[in-house]
Structure 1
Amino acid sequence: MDSLTQIVLGAAVGEAVLGKKVGNKALLYGAIGGTIPDLDVLASHFTDTVSALEIHRGFTHSIVFSIVFAPIFGWLVSRYERYKDFKGWSWLFFWGFITHPLLDAHTTWGTQLFWPFDLRVAYKTIFVVDPLYTLPFLVCLILVMCYKRTSKKRQFYNRLGLIISSSYLLITVVLKVLAYSKFEDALKSQNIDYFDVDTRPTPLNTILWTANVDTKDTYLVGYYSFFDSKPIKFYSYPKHHEYLEDLKENDKVQRMIAISNGWYTISKHTNKLYFNDLRFGTMGIKQDPDQFVFKYEIHQNSDGIITFIETPKDREDAKGLLADLWKRLKGN
């Protein structure tokens, strides 16, 4: 999830663990604990694109990290804070660390919760930024800070924020199941043969859902809103995996395929080859094979070394996407 959401969740968890004893410092250190796992993004400054993608939401988002580093941070804080309870601080950081990947597991990218095992947990029930999850939670947290640490109202608002946010997560699971069934029914009614269906919510909401459908030579992409009154329409994107030719056996190419879970297309433009991660869709609702959200140029130098270069995103395309999403969300 986005940084603000993780800060809010971490702060609420910190309050639940030590709020009665240390007051707003529990919010502060909880927020820090909720932020630390995302420091893995710094890897992009020290390594290549493929390695940085593999590292993202890897070790720092694992159970192992939470268990190993919580007592380290707990010991450090207990050394200089007036409240010297090593166990209490360790529990605060543990819950701050572990709730971060548990929440991220509900997004499309997912987390390597069980690192070092190569298994990325991704339920794909919520977009990385969702106001309906974050804003009520944030309001409750602000109310928490208005009361003394021993106040029952402080405890009430913190619990309320945790209950509302957790309940919303459960609702997104139900919505995913309902949307998935709609896509399956549409594929059946249109007599489309397929191997797999991958569903997820579109940006900023859980009303409009999208599905990637794996067929023999193409991927189909469809959208469904709970306000729809017409049949689902699917757009076709040729896989063109044959464009990779001999490059398909390259180590970095194989790793990128693994990162995308096999949901990718290959495109050619002006003698350049591009790897398109299909899991995150395009910068708009209408069919556009050139505007994938995550698109990487596959560059090969004179020595045959392969590098992946992410193509920049156009802000105007992003504005257009939000406009298209809002229009489509209201139904077809």
Structure 2
Amino acid sequence: MDSLTHIVIGASIGEIFAGKKLGRKALWWGMAAQSLPDIDFLASFWASPTQDLLAHRGFTHSILFAAMATFFCALATERWHKKHNISLQYWMLFWGLQIIIHLFLDSLNAYGIGWFEPFSHARISFNVIFVADPLFSIWTALALIFVFIFHKHRRKKQWAIMALSVSVVYLLYCVSNKMRVEHEVKKILQQKQIAYGRHFTTPTMFNDWLWYIVAENDSGYYVGYYSVFSKKEDISFSYHPRNSYLLAGKHASEDVQNLLRFSQGYYTAQQWGDTLVFNDLRFGQIAGWRDSNAHFVFHYFLSGTNDNDMVLQRGRLAAGNKEDIASLINKIKGN
């Protein structure tokens, strides 16, 4: 999930665990514990763009890291707060729960997470919720504001529990949407007699109602969109050839090897003028619900330019004008 979501969830858990003994310090420790796995951002200072893609949500998001960090961080905070009489076991529960929740939440969106690093490079992606979903985060954000302002209020712990409970209920709603969309997509693909080997469905930006669908065959991908509010049992698919021949002679390149691994094989290659482009299909298209031929959000330049900073964010930010938002809302309605 996005950093803000981890911060507000971490603070809420901090309040529940230690707010009575530590006061506002419990919020800060909660934020720190929930954000700890994201220290992988440091890799961007020395790694190449493709190395950074693999470092993000890599080892620091593994079960091994969670176990190590839990022990050493619990030991440090137990000594730091000796006078507050909080046991080492309680601190281990606090740190362990925070980090495991972080790892669980990050497995729910499209990027993928390396739970089993360094023993396996397999990435886990359940594709249940968009990386930044306001309806998931808003409740704990409001609870955090309340606790900061009314830090002596006797019901602040109850507010934190209530906020987390609402977020959990919303997450269960997202899971139900995922199951429904999966059922409908498989049925429609069968009705259209589209042969495919594997597929995935994932929510579009900032919502859990309009879903992006990719079905892979031997030479490319069928791409479409489906709203949970749609009354039509139909999906309009566009076809995107893989064009793997464009990468011929480049497979020895470290960048190409990293991109193939990162994309989990969901990629196309394109020639934009003099520039060879690698697209990772997992992150959707730039307002693809408006234009089925729109560029993909994740597009990496393999030649012609070295402008690959913000390689994922630039595509997401490109779909933020009023027309794109209006068409997104219209598509969510099932139109």
CA distance in 2, matches of 1:121, 1:135: 26
User: Which structure 2 residues correspond to residues 1-332 of structure 1 after superposition, within 5 A?
Assistant: 1-81=1-81, 82-83=83-84, 85=86, 87=88, 88-116=90-118, 117-145=120-148, 146=150, 148=152, 151=154, 153-230=155-232, 231-284=234-287, 285-287=289-291, 289=293, 291-299=295-303, 309=308, 312-313=314-315, 315=317, 317-319=319-321, 320-332=323-335
Deviates more, 1:211-220 or 1:154-163: 154-163
Structure 1 residue 147: deviation in Å?
5.1
CA distance in 1, matches of 2:273, 2:197: 32
CA distance in 1, matches of 2:159, 2:70: 26
CA distance in 1, matches of 2:317, 2:199: 30
Contact 2:222 2:240 in 1 (8 A): yes
Task: Give TM-score, length-normalised by structure 2.
Answer: 0.89
CA distance in 2, matches of 1:115, 1:229: 43
Q: 1:160 to 1:186 in 2, by over 3 A?
A: same
Q: Secondary structure at the match of 1:299?
A: coil
Contact 1:31 1:96 in 2 (8 A): no
Q: What amino acid maps onto 1:259 in structure 2?
A: F
Q: 1:314 to 1:191 in 2, by over 3 A?
A: closer
CA distance in 2, matches of 1:159, 1:308: 45
Q: Secondary structure at the match of 1:124?
A: coil
Aligned to 1:304: none
Could you list the per-position Cα deviations for residues 74-132 of structure 1 after superposition, in whole angstroms to 9, with x for gaps in the alignment?
A: 34334444436361444333322221111111111131122222221211100011111
Contact 2:275 2:304 in 1 (8 A): no
Q: Secondary structure at the match of 1:236?
A: strand
Q: What amino acid maps onto 2:99 in structure 1?
A: F
Aligned length: 325
Could you list the per-position Cα deviations for residues 226-258 of structure 1 after superposition, in whole angstroms to 9, with x for gaps in the alignment?
A: 222332111111111111112134443222111
Contact 2:296 2:315 in 1 (8 A): no
Unaligned stretches of 5+ residues in structure 1:
302-306
Q: What amino acid maps onto 1:268 in structure 2?
A: Q
Contact 2:223 2:238 in 1 (8 A): yes
Unaligned stretches of 5+ residues in structure 2:
none
Structure 1 residue 192: deviation in Å?
1.2
CA distance in 2, matches of 1:126, 1:176: 9
Q: What amino acid maps onto 2:205 in structure 1?
A: P
Q: Percent identity?
A: 33
Deviates more, 1:10-19 or 1:198-207: 10-19
CA RMSD of aligned residues (A): 2.4
